Structure 1
Amino acid sequence: MVCRGQVVMGAARTYILFNKLLRPSWHLYSKLPVCFSTSASTVPVPLEKIRNIGISAHIDSGKTTLTERILYYTGRIDEMHEVRGKDGIGAVMDSMELERQRGITIQSAATYTIWKDHNINIIDTPGHVDFTVEVERALRVLDGAVLVLCSVGGVQSQTLTVNRQMKRYNVPCVAFINKIDRMGANPYRVLSQMRSKLLHNAAFVQLPIGLENSTKGIIDLVGQKALYFEGDFGNIIREDEIPVNMRAETDERRIELVEYLSNADEVIGELFLEEKTPTEEELHAGIRRTCLQRTFTPVFVGTALKNKGVQPLLDGVLKYLPNPGEVNNFALQQNSKGEEEKILMKSARDSNHPFVGLAFKLEAGRFGQLTYVRVYQGCLKKGNTIYNSRTGKKVKISRLVQMHSSNMEDVNEVFAGDICALFGIDCASGDTFTTDHKLNISMESMFVPDPVISMAIKPKNNKDLDAFSKAVNRFTKEDPTYRVYWDNDNKETIASGMGELHLEIYSQRMEREYGCPVVMGKPKVAFRESLASPVEFDYLHKKQSGGAGQFGRVIGVLEVCYQDTR
């Protein structure tokens, strides 16, 4: 396909933008044709044009559907499919067969795309609490996040967990209230719950034009305009004036936005005290400053399933969430005295500093172990030799790829701020890699929760013991919350995880991927008896079988000895 346009080179990809003559304004466009090359450019994309974000939420809030729309509108995929769709294809990010059958996300999936000259690395995370470690390791390496909330369910149990994880890793976020087209949708109640339950200093930056079946579009409070999403897939955005019946509410909500923003930002606060109205540029700047400091959360609205509100959310990601250079990432380094010191990573996209990367996720691929790495400093090129800071082992990088769900795209080099994957690396989750073996540096690791449930597990057929052992070794290495051990008291194998679904998924994967059906059940309990009161004994032993005989007598008291722990 030949397009009129300007060719712009980026790190690991080439994309084509329509000439301004072909699309005179940003909101009148169809899906941009994007072509990703398999060779890296010699000029990396500027740090300011990179975003690393995660999509996190409670179960069934629409994370994967939202990611599917983002990939479609940015030209990364040619057509959209639904989670557990009738066509049997399913969403791009749900690459595992079990995910498509159950309609849930089990493993976090990474991809990258381009929106308005910006490279966006996206990780779609599971919403179920059983797979919470996937959210932990994703938020550990991401610079920003989109907190998705259902306009009907509001703030739910896993929303609280995800919010704690964002706070633990100090990840700035924007909120997206999804499913405003559902029966019973009430985004205003969800905003109230964000303030009361999540303790967010949050306010709308958008308002819905109608709810449930009457959803027509959204109102941009900052730009003071109405946006309508037209076309078969909502890919044409039409700007219009704010409806007359919503102008009073719009003015009221915009004043509320300025009030909540003034509580967190001094510049907007001074304008508010002087009773001056902030301009659109001043509001954007104030929201960005407070969002980076996690003192304010802008709230977007829309419905991903009905293709409304996704493109403005992408614009909000570019405007309000940080680039890798605006996030302070620290590593631990031993000094000459053997003490650990915190040092700040240099996030410049060049090769003037030694490469430092963190392996945050392991996955068994078709060509061996696939290791996901977030690059924090320097440049890594295909053919470089890197060192594992924990083990001291060195390995040569024979293949360097970037992931699009389960698909791999080869690149020649990656820079600070990029997320890539390596092959043939023997390591554990949380290991640090560097090109300088004298650096003696280690990135801060992630939090791994302890398992909460255990079940007995064994292969259905004894001939499958080898396959069972291989599956256990792989799954326990990939997932630190899945642990399998031998109970010597009851002589059985025990599998521990974060929930029944967690253990059930791995038992099904053993059968599907290794041909090893397993039997799971309640673990046995080893009962031990103890004396309730002291017992006196008097035992006489006599034995005469010819020759020297045996005689002995033992008298004593048997009682429990309690240790004083005071």
Structure 2
Amino acid sequence: MKAYYFEGDMGNKVIEKEIPENFKADATKYHSELVEKIVETDDSIMTEYLEGTIPDFDALKKTLRKAVIVNQIFPVFAGSALKNKGVQLILDAVVDYLPSPIDIAAVSGIDPDTEKNIIRNASDTEPFAALAFKVATDPFVGQLIFFRVYSGTLSAGSYIYNPRTRNKERIGRILRMHANDREEVKKVFAGEIAAAVGLKDTITSDTICDENNPIILDRIIFPEPVISLRIEPKTKADQEKMGMALNRLAQEDPTFKVSTDQETGETIIAGMGELHLEIIVDRMKREFTVEANVGKPQVEIKVKPMQLLTKEELEDLPKNTKRSPGFEFVNTIKGGVIPQEYIAPCEKGFKEGLDRGVLAGFKIVNVSVELWDGSYHEVDSNEMAFKIASSMAVQDACKRANPVILEPMMKVEVVTPDKFMGDVTGNLSSKRALIEGMEDRGMNKVIRALVPLSEMFGYMTGLRSMTEGRASFTMEFFRYDVVPNNVAETIIATRK
């Protein structure tokens, strides 16, 4: 055992010394406990240990690595990224103990043509397959697509195939990123992470692969935004720049959405929380020099019909259906009572009618629409007429289906000292929270609850006030739930 000291400019010099006398007893105690935990994962080494044989350092490292790879042991390191202390040892541990690409199972994907399952091993000899996991804008080289190579190799200047767009794109340059520094490389191999320059139509979660051996890897699933606000440029000069900035930011962040209110013409930005949107607005100012005025945050409310089909009725539905998130279109027109060229406008009209909503203008979700009959006029019928009729029909049907308002529910975890637990739980209950459980975590209590997002605005300020600044909380989107009748009435009244 040794003690490590971090000296020099920001701890860049790692110096190994003997453990000071006043720490030796504690170090010996915890070292023994660490060795016991490691040998418990391997029966043969455990037997030798019980017989009095202490495994050597290399055997312990090998055993620990196996245990980490199969999730039996989770190493914890101490350090300070701010002062650059302990960071070097953590990076060494990443190399020593975490799995390499060949230590984990082969990746599986879908053939875009046959929809059969395909296995790709982490080998340079396999066909090329990679997943784009991040899009970033660099002021010097433009748009960067970060990707992880699962199989095969990729050379700068070669062409890749995108199964989503069914198009080929040329890789201009390949960069290996080191924080803010970039290293240009000619080729990357299986298991490596790099950034590509020159891809125009690739977005986060796209698969890029060999055209002759196409594959679609598992996509990254991103939650829908739960909070939105109105934004407008402060000056006319910012108008055009704001549009470009929002477009760039939306490309980088799949959970950030930009839309236009059809009635008012205002620009609406939506994201995963107050802090998320605050950072977006701040980035617009810092990176794109766009000053903007923003409105109050609004919770993303949705509506769904409550008169549902029975299981037997669902099984009787035709198979010629088109599905998208929250919407299903079933076409059962027979005999040409509606010409084929008017089917697509009908579908578009149904979607627009659901987007406009029937309760206070909120979007309606989780709807299956069946088009089973109709008529047309050989001279006067046109696409716009069918689109408008479809929109009116679906809205009329939804009004008869007892629609209800849905609000986003957040999974909240509050960590607080024991003496404030009563105040915190009482405050959560006043916010219509559903307390799921409580547990101890060291000297503190942890409270887990489901809370409506609309009740969580400004919660951090109130939590700090009632706990003398000693409590903290985390929050993430969980699901949409039906709002109580009294709250629904208030929401509808505010929209009139």
Structure 1 residues 492 and 270: CA distance shift in structure 2, 3 A: farther
Looking at structure 1, the residues matched to 135 and 22 of structure 2 have their Cα atoms a distance apart, in angstroms, of 53
Structure 1: how far apart are the matches of 2:298 and 2:99?
A: 51
Q: Is 1:341 paired with 2:142?
A: no
Q: Does 1:261 align with 2:34?
A: no
CA distance in 2, matches of 1:245, 1:399: 55
- Rounded Cα–Cα distance in structure 2 between residues aligned with 1:298 and 1:529: 52
Tell whether 2:100 aligns with 1:323: yes
**What is the deviation of 1:563?**
3.4
Distance 1:382 1:249, change over 3 A: same
Matched, 1:361 2:137: no
Equivalent-residue separation in structure 2 for 1:387 and 1:272 (angstroms): 54
- Match in the other structure for 2:250: 476
What residue number does 1:447 align with? Answer: 221
Tell me the secondary structure at the aligned position of residue 317 of structure 1.
Answer: helix
Q: Secondary structure at the match of 2:24?
A: helix
Q: Are the equivalent residues in 1 in contact too, given 2:226–2:273 (CA < 8 A)?
A: yes
Asked whether the equivalents of residues 287 and 298 of structure 1 are also in contact (C-alpha less than 8 Å), the reply is no
Q: Distance in 1 between matches of 2:25 and 2:32?
A: 11
Partner of 2:261: 487
Match of 1:430 in 2: 205
Measured in 2, the distance between the counterparts of 1:271 and 1:529 equals 72
Alpha-carbon distance between aligned partners in 2 of 1:523 and 1:227, rounded to the nearest angstrom = 49
Asked if the contact 1:460–1:517 (Cα under 8 Å) also holds between the matched residues in 2, the reply is yes
The alignment's C-alpha RMSD in Å is 3.2
Partner of 2:345: none
Structure 1 residue 368: Cα displacement: 3.5
The answer to whether the 8 Å contact 1:454/1:494 transfers is yes
**Is 2:174–2:194's contact at 8 Å kept on the other side of the alignment?**
yes
SS of the residue corresponding to residue 4 of structure 2 reads: strand
Write out per-residue CA displacement over residues 218-253 of structure 1, whole angstroms, 9 at most, x where no aligned residue: xxxxxx233344556555555444433333323321
What one-letter code is carried by the residue in structure 2 that aligns with 1:248? A
**Contact 1:389 1:433 (8 Å CA) reproduced:** yes
Structure-2 separation of matches of 1:456 and 1:292: 47
2:197 maps to a residue whose letter is F
* Cα distance, 1:479 vs structure 2: 0.4
- Offset from partner CA, 1:425-462 (integer Å, 9 cap, x none): 12111111112x23230122223233232111122234
243, 251, 260: which is aligned to 2:20?
243
- The CA distance in 2 between the partners of 1:310 and 1:464, in whole Å, is 42
- Separation in structure 1 between the aligned mates of residue 224 and residue 171 of structure 2, nearest angstrom: 33
Aligned residue in 2 for 1:296: 73
Counterpart pick for 2:241 among 460, 464, 467: 467
* In structure 2, distance between residues paired with 1:562 and 1:434: 49
Question: Percent same amino acid among aligned pairs?
Answer: 40
Q: Is the 8 A contact 1:335 1:341 kept in 2?
A: no
* 1:376 corresponds to: 150
Which amino acid letter does the alignment assign opposite residue 453 of structure 1?
Answer: I
Equivalent residues of 1:357, 1:374 under 8 A apart: yes
Maintained 8 Å contact 2:171/2:196:
yes
Residue in structure 2 matching 1:405, options 174, 179, 191: 179
CA distance in 2 between partners of 1:312 and 1:355 (Å)? 34
Task: Note closer, same or farther for the CA distance 1:233–1:516 as it changes in structure 2 (3 Å cut).
Answer: closer
Q: Distance in 1 between matches of 2:237 and 2:10?
A: 52
Offset at 1:422? 1.6
Matched, 1:517 2:291: yes
8 Å CA contact 1:330–1:444 kept in 2: the answer is no
Write out per-residue CA displacement over residues 479-508 of structure 1, whole angstroms, 9 at most, x where no aligned residue: 011111123355532211122232123223
Mapped contact 1:385–1:396 kept (Cα < 8 A): yes
What's the offset of the Cα at 1:331?
Answer: 3.0
Distance in structure 2 (CA, Å) of the matches to 1:342 and 1:239: 49
1:286 corresponds to 2:286: no
Question: What is the correspondence of 1:158-237 to structure 2 with a 5 Å cutoff?
Answer: 224-231=1-8, 234-237=11-14
> Paired residue for 2:401?
563
Which amino acid in 2 is paired with 1:380?
Answer: L
For 1:339 and 1:529, how far apart are their aligned partners in 2? 42
Equivalents in 2 of 1:392, 1:474: separation in Å? 23
C-alpha distance in structure 1 between counterparts of 2:262 and 2:77, whole Å: 55
CA change 1:235–1:469 in 2 (3 A) is closer
* 8 A contact 1:363–1:370 mirrored in 2: yes
Which is further off, 352-361 or 362-371?
Answer: 362-371
Structure 2 CA distance, aligned partners of 1:396 and 1:524?
42
Distance 1:250 1:529 in 2: 65
Residue identity matched to 1:317: V
Aligned twin of 2:231: 457
Counterpart of 1:416?
A: 190
CA deviation map 1:501-556 (0-9, x unaligned): 321232233344444322101268999689xxxxxxxxxxxxxxxxxxxxxxxxxx
Does the 8 Å CA contact 1:387/1:433 hold for their aligned counterparts? yes
Amino acid at match of 2:245: A
Listed as ranges, the gaps of 5+ residues in structure 2 are: 300-356, 362-397, 404-496
Q: 2 CA distance for matches of 1:234 and 1:505?
A: 31
Between the aligned partners of 1:235 and 1:378, the Cα distance in structure 2 is: 36
Give the residue type in structure 2 aligned to 1:416: A
Residues of 2 paired with 1:445 and 1:479: CA distance?
15
Q: 1:340 to 1:310 in 2, by over 3 A?
A: same
Alpha-carbon distance in 2 for matches of 1:291, 1:524: 44
Give the Cα separation in 1 of the matches to 2:399 and 2:173. Answer: 63
- Whole-angstrom distance in 2 between the partners of 1:524 and 1:320: 46
Note closer, same or farther for the CA distance 1:395–1:290 as it changes in structure 2 (3 Å cut). same
Q: Is the 8 A contact 2:233 2:290 kept in 1?
A: yes
In structure 1, distance between residues paired with 2:223 and 2:276: 14
Contact residue 7 and residue 14 of structure 2 kept, 8 A: yes
SS at match of 2:75: strand
Shift of 1:463: 5.3
2: CA distance, partners of 1:235 / 1:369: 32
Conservation of the 8 A alpha-carbon contact between 2:136 and 2:145:
yes
1:496 aligns with 2:270: yes
TM-score by length of structure 1 reads 0.49
TM-superposed deviation, 1:330: 1.1
- Structure 1 residue corresponding to 2:109, chosen from 322, 329, 332: 332
TM-score using structure 2 length: 0.55
Asked if structure 2 preserves the Cα contact closer than 8 Å seen for 1:460 and 1:519, the reply is yes
CA-CA distance at 1:397 after TM superposition: 2.1
Task: Tell me by how many angstroms 1:316 deviates.
Answer: 2.0
Give the corresponding residue for 2:455.
none
Please report how far the alpha carbon of residue 387 of structure 1 lies from its aligned counterpart in structure 2 after TM superposition: 0.9
SS in 2 for 1:433: strand
How far residue 393 of structure 1 moved from its aligned partner, in angstroms, is 0.7
| Structure with more contact order per residue of length (Cα contacts < 8 Å, sep ≥ 6) | 1
Distance in 2, Cα, partners of 1:313 & 1:269: 27
Instruction: Give 1:354's aligned amino acid.
Output: P
Q: 1:240 to 1:467 in 2, by over 3 A?
A: closer
